[in-house]
């Protein structure tokens, strides 16, 4: 895989590990979308495409198409929790497109699905921040050492993104503390 001027390298296996983590996180809240839009398979398809790549499939058109479709599905959802669950699915399929660029925005490819999933859970619980924090803890427990090692090649998560961004930064800090302890 390519390397940027900062020396970040990513193997296909690194991308598979990150994508598997993202798919696990998105799958945890898929039911929130499906309860809202039971006849809309787009987020499930995006998570399926992410799993297929994580398990050895190719990184190509299906991932891109299902990610965009899940994002469109978010726009059709009735509830905010369902919208965030669909965005988590979009982020899972998009995780395979992490680039070796030393930019904080790349962290969204690693942690975006987890942050959107945490926000979905939070909203489903009546916008309860404790639920979001608990969901971040669950995501941290899903992260393999390989995911944390990839994360540590990049700058910290960006200082933007509203509540989803806050949740992403919380997870970022928690995972980086795991290896520095």
pLDDT at 3: 47
Backbone φ, ψ for residue 2 (5° rounding): -70, 165
Task: Return the DSSP state at 3.
Answer: B
Strands (E), 4-114: none
**pTM across the whole model:** 0.94
Residues 6 or more apart in contact with residue 96 via CB below 8 angstroms: 15, 18, 19, 50, 53, 59, 63
Q: What are the mean pLDDT values of the chain's consecutive 10-residue runs (181 residues total)?
A: 65 97 98 98 98 96 97 97 98 96 95 98 98 97 96 94 96 84 48
Give the span between the Cα atoms of 17 and 31, in whole angstroms.
Answer: 23
Give per-residue pLDDT as tens, 68-107: 999 999 999 999 999 999 999 999 999 999 999 999 999 9
Residues 6 or more apart in contact with residue 90 via CB below 8 angstroms: 43, 46, 67, 68, 70, 71, 74, 116
């Amino acid at each position: 895989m390519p390397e940027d001027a900062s020396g970040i390298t990513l193997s296909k296996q690194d991308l598979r590990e990150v994508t598997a983590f993202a798919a696990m996180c998105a799958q945890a809240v898929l039911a929130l979308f499906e309860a809202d839009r039971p006849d809309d398979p787009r987020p499930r398809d995006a998570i399926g495409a992410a799993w297929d790549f994580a398990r050895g499939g190719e990184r190509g058109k299906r991932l891109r198409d299902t990610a965009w479709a899940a994002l469109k599905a978010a726009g059709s959802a009735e509830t905010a929790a369902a919208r965030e669950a669909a965005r988590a699915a979009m982020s899972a399929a998009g995780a395979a497109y992490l680039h070796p660029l030393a930019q904080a925005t790349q962290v969204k490819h690693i942690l975006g699905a987890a942050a959107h999933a945490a926000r979905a859970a939070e909203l489903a619980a009546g916008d309860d921040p404790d639920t979001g924090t608990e969901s971040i803890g669950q995501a941290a427990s899903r992260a393999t050492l390989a995911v944390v090692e990839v994360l540590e090649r990049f700058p910290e998560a960006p200082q933007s993104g509203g509540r989803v961004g806050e949740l992403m930064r919380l997870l970022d800090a928690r995972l980086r503390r795991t290896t520095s302890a």
